[in-house]
Chain A
Amino acid sequence: MSELTDLYQEVVLDHGKRPRNFGPLPAETHHAEGLNPLCGDHLTVHARLDAGLVAEIKFEGSGCAISKASASVMTGVVKGRSPVEVDALFERFHKLVTEGPQAGDEETLGKLAVFGGVHEFPTRVKCASLAWHTLRQALKGDAKPVSTE
């Protein structure tokens, strides 16, 4: 069961149950919808950019614990970053959830390192990535819904 406790770490369960930055963002400048048609997860990410940086970010929707926790933690770590920095961070995060933890993750990934257990569960990679795909779609200024399929 240790793989399960790696996946569902306390922090993940906590963010899944009590997601941070959850709700609408009336002052948004960017938003996008994300869908995982296989499991019905459905997220909307709202962001307000100021001087090219993410000044405020919130999300809404329904999904599994992994997708909600990922969205919740993500909204915490991308504040103050530029779209280019978000892309770079996503690349590291994607490597984490597909290949597993590597040396130096703590510095580059910070709180995102709690998703280090996801790589043991290939079917859950999409859950962990959904919020990120949605955010990057929003930052492109493209309101077309993004799908994991």
Chain B
Amino acid sequence: MSPPFDRLRVSGPSYDVEAIRAQFPILHRPVRGKPLAYLDNAATTQKPRAVIDALRRYYEEDNANIHRGVHFLSEHATRLHEEARVKVARFLGAADPREVIFVRGTTEAVNLVAQTFGRQRVGPGDEVLVTGLEHHSNIVPWQLLCREKGAQLRVVPITDGGDLDLDALDRLLGPRTRILAVTQVSNALGTVTPLAELVARAHARGVPVLVDGAQGAPHLGVDVQALGADFYAFSGHKVYAPTGIGVLWGRKALLDALPPWQGGGDMILSVTFEESTFAPVPHKLEAGTPDIGGAIALGAALDWVGAVGLPAIAAHEQALMAELVDGLRAMPDVRLVGTPRVRAGAVSFLLGDVHPHDAGTILDRAGVAIRAGHHCAQPVMKRLGVPATVRASLAAYSNRADVEALLAGLHAVRKLFA
């Protein structure tokens, strides 16, 4: 137990991390006979009781298909689903809930943009610009598009510390650049990118910007109007909602101009065998029965985040991250991989010449859940000259005991491999 004095120092008087932990049932199950120290939040977060209850309540009391039934439950489920859209719009600072497209997750959102906006705008000899920090899900959809169109994928390089090389950005933004796709926060290194600056420079050249907010939404949030980006994608399951639900936000004028993506029910106005006409956004881009319960649970998750307060969560995570990074730096054999100017959520490191996979197995036996590997960001690993890293990542409920369990576990790793 930390004395109250320490808790004050870590997170300020209003942030009671133990009260927050009490709302996450899974945090109270032992793992391998040890208390769980869950530090794999960049992969997925755990779910608070409020989200689990919202999902259960939907299936126990409200389940029906939406947008078509005339019966009570269908109307009710439709209203709940559309209320969730409004909650997402509020979370993003969007001007209009119709700018919120429900998808399965960030990956689907990027693919949607690549296959609609990208196919419309990118032609032979054109360029798509990504960065050296991207997750595979913000590389491969663009690579597929470029291959299909005979276009070129260009990459903004990163520095040894894991920051974007902004000088190179200006050189790479050229007359053939059709879109810049960039992450808000690196999932592998924790780098926070200077989004406002990136958007300004891209827009100065008339280049639209897609932001991968998968790691940014849970730790920083976003105000899409203030940011001025053109598309923003995030995954529900990294902000305390279930897996299988995510969001693509786009500026309405851009979404209106997109061709349909998947064809099917819900996205049409009328269908004959000769021709179909399409519904306006968001429905044009939401073919088929969506994950209704997932969307409602995402709304509940964003309500939960709003009640705790994202700035309070961020301050708590930043304070705990500073302790974690200090603790890692104090260990003789630890090498941080990525020392970004601004960090959020995650830290990657190596312990001597111990392979991260071995460290992961030993930590796991101590109840500590971290990620060992390339984090679906192989180009980042290659650029920094490491095959893999150990990554620890935080969430609203992370506490000092989690950090201490990790550091103690790393001492055990050192002992075994000494």
**Which A residues form the contact surface with B (CB < 8 A)?**
1, 3-4, 7-8, 13, 16-17, 38-42, 62-66, 121, 123-124, 127
Contacts and interface: CB of A to CB of B under 8 A. Distances in A.
29 contacts: A1-B365, A4-B362, A4-B416, A7-B361, A8-B358, A8-B416, A13-B417, A39-B356, A39-B357, A39-B373, A39-B374, A40-B373, A40-B374, A40-B381, A40-B387, A41-B387, A42-B387, A63-B355, A64-B355, A64-B357, A64-B358, A65-B354, A65-B355, A66-B357, A66-B358, A121-B361, A123-B361, A124-B357, A124-B361
Interface string B342-377: 000000000000111110011001000000111000
B88 interface: no
Specify which of A4, A41, A62 lies most central, judged by the most chain B CB atoms within 10 Å of its CB: A4
B365 A3 contact: yes
A4 B365 contact: yes
B101 interface: no
Given A64-B358, A121-B361, A127-B357, A40 B388 contact: yes
A79 B362 CA distance: 33
B358 A62 contact: no
Given A42-B387, A64-B357, A65-B355, 17 more contacts: A3-B365, A4-B362, A4-B416, A13-B416, A16-B358, A39-B357, A39-B372, A40-B373, A62-B387, A63-B355, A65-B354, A65-B417, A66-B357, A66-B358, A121-B361, A123-B361, A124-B361
Contacts of A62: 387
Interface residues of B, number: 17
A64 B390 CA distance: 13
Nearest to B382: A40
Nearest to A66: B358
Instruction: Name the 9 nearest CB pairs between A and B, nearest first.
Output: A64-B355, A64-B357, A40-B387, A40-B388, A65-B358, A39-B357, A64-B358, A39-B373, A40-B374
A64 to B, nearest CB: 4
A127 B387 CA distance: 15
Contact of B388 (A39, A123, A127): A39
Nearest to A7: B361
Nearest to A8: B416
Nearest to A127: B357
B353 to A, nearest CB: 8
A68 B167 CA distance: 41
A29 B102 CA distance: 56
Interface string B48-83: 000000000000000000000000000000000000
Nearest to B412: A1
A105 B417 CA distance: 27
B356 to A, nearest CB: 8
A84 to B, nearest CB: 32
Nearest to B366: A1
A4 B354 CA distance: 15
Contacts of A63: 355
A59 to B, nearest CB: 16
Contacts of B373: 38-40
A52 to B, nearest CB: 36
A7 B378 CA distance: 28
A39 B416 CA distance: 21
B143 to A, nearest CB: 17
A130 B381 CA distance: 21
A41 B388 CA distance: 9
Nearest to A38: B373
Interface centre among A16, A63, A65, A124 (most CB of B within 10 A): A65
A41 B374 CA distance: 11
Nearest to B378: A40
A8 B354 CA distance: 13
B207 to A, nearest CB: 33
Contacts of B378: 40
B295 to A, nearest CB: 31
Interface in B120-160: none
A17 B388 CA distance: 18
Contacts of B355: 39, 63-65
Contacts of A17: 417
